[in-house]
Structures are given as C-alpha cells and as structure tokens.
Amino acid sequence: MNPLIETKRLILRELNPSDVEGMYALDSNADVHTYLGNKPVKTREESQQTIKFIREQYKKNGIARFAVIDKETNSFMGWCGLKYESDLRIDKSYYDIGYRLRKRYWGGGVATEAAIACLNYGFSHMNLTEISGAAHTQNIASNIILRKLGLTFVEMFTYKGILLNWYTITQDQWLNR
C-alpha cells in the first residue's frame, strides 16, 4: 500500500522510517498529548516503534495513518488518516478518522483539510460504509473538527477512565453532504 493523496496544501503518504525526527517533534511535545493521556515520548526510539507499528497496520489492515507533508516546504506536519480500530470500543471494531499535528500547525485548517481528503479516500476508494471518530470531551478543537467534517455526535463513552465523545458518518451522508 502506498497511496498518495494531495490537497491544495498537503501531501498525505505512508509514514516511513525516515519520518522519525518529525514524529519525535510531534509526540515529544507535552501540549500535543494533553488529551492523549499526557504521555509524550522521551526518545526517538519510541517514535521509531510508533512508525513501525503504523507500518504493520498498512500490511495487516490495508490502511493506517498517513504522514501529512507541507507541499510548499516538504515539512512533516503530523499525521492524519484512517485506522482499523478494535481496542477503543469493547462493543465494536470500526474505521477511525484521526489526526495529530505539530503544535506550530494548529489552528490553520490543516487537520480539517487532511481529514476531508482521508474521509474521501475511505468512502470513495475503500468503499467503506461508515467511519467513526472519538475525541476527549474537553478537547474542544478536535470535537469542532469532527463536527465540521460532517460526523454526527452519537454518545459519550469511557475508555480507561476518560470520557470521550463518539461520532460517526456513513458513506451516504458523506457523498450527499
């Protein structure tokens, strides 16, 4: 699997071992991990393991998070994409839309732009029937993005003692938006 998705400002591609510095810059920032359990990585080796784990998902599930690259500067901005998720909800497995950006790229519409491209990929190229997303109830920005993408709030649920909002969108809803 080696999809390449382009938007006006972004290139979305597979995460590669060469992305370790960008992943480390992303995941070592405590602010990025505020709503992710407050466990930023401490070493580049941890980032290498994350990339290895994601690359295994490409093989196992045919999809995983993509590196988000700035077209103009070729800078690693973070990741976005779909992931086959079977751990977060004990009652179901599903395709999850997710995004994580380096702090300096927050607030510029990058997550929304990348996520729109990934949803389109999931529904148009993978022919998925539904995509879901979860966000910490206090993560206002992420909740706004999920609603802006057209996902509908369904319910709150608890994962490892953390209250999360659950959203979904169907293929028909996406194609008829």
Per-residue pLDDT tens for 133-152?
A: 999 999 999 999 999 999 99
What DSSP designation does 62 have?
Answer: S
Strand partners, 136: 164
Higher-confidence residue of 66 and 4: namely: 66
What DSSP designation does 125 have?
Answer: I
Question: In whole angstroms, what is the distance from residue 53 CA to residue 125 CA?
Answer: 23
Q: Nearest 10 degrees: CA dihedral of 78, 84, 86, 87? A: 0
Domain spanning 5-129: which superfamily? Gcn5-related N-acetyltransferase (GNAT) (3.40.630.30)
Q: In whole numbers, what is the pLDDT of the chain averaged over residues?
A: 95
pTM: 0.94
| Whole-Å CA distances, 24 to 12, 50, 51, 68, 107 | 18, 10, 10, 14, 21
pLDDT at 175 over 80: yes
Higher-confidence residue of 47 and 177: namely: 47
pLDDT at 1 over 80: no
Which residue bears the tokens 């992710």? Answer: 36
End-to-end CA distance of the chain: 29
pLDDT tens digits for range 17-76: 999 999 999 999 999 999 987 789 999 999 999 999 999 999 999 999 999 999 999 999
Question: In whole angstroms, what is the distance from residue 74 CA to residue 167 CA?
Answer: 32
Strands across the sheet containing 130-136: 5-6, 10-14, 65-70, 76-85, 94-101, 130-136, 162-170, 152-159
